[in-house]
Amino acid sequence: MWTTLATQAAAMHPGGWHDGDAPAFWPVFPITFGLFWLAVLGTAFYLIRRRMNDGAAAARAAADPMTKARSVLAERYARGDIDEDEYHARMAALRNSD
């Protein structure tokens, strides 16, 4: 009698997944979750490195007086303070002083 009831109970409730098998796509969710966090960390690392490199390049450019002189000369030419001939003459003088 008890074995009959146990057999009937097992037949009524086969398992946690209704038919006894787990779905075949279950690995997709943890893999996707892991890839998402790898992408987040990779993006953060990339942005931090880029910011550090930009700061270092700006510091190198600020430390070089010739780069600053060329930059000021280009700004003055862009604003119209000096004409093209004077710009080229001063750039040639800067190149010769290197």
Question: How far is the C-alpha of 87 from the C-alpha of 24, rounded, in Å?
Answer: 71
Structural domain of residue 51, as residue ranges? 28-63
Any domain includes 43: yes
Residue 81's pLDDT is what? 92
Same domain, 48 and 74: no
What are the mean pLDDT values of the chain's consecutive 10-residue runs (98 residues total)?
A: 63 58 77 97 95 77 79 92 92 84
Any domain includes 15: no
Residue 8's pLDDT is what? 66
Residue 34's pLDDT is what? 96
Same domain, 71 and 57: no
- Token look-up 């490199």 returns 53
Closest by alpha carbon to 71, among 54, 50, 87? 87
Any domain includes 9: no
The distance of Cα 27 from the centroid of its chain, to the nearest Å, equals 27
Same domain, 57 and 69: no
Same domain, 48 and 72: no
State if pTM tops 0.75. no
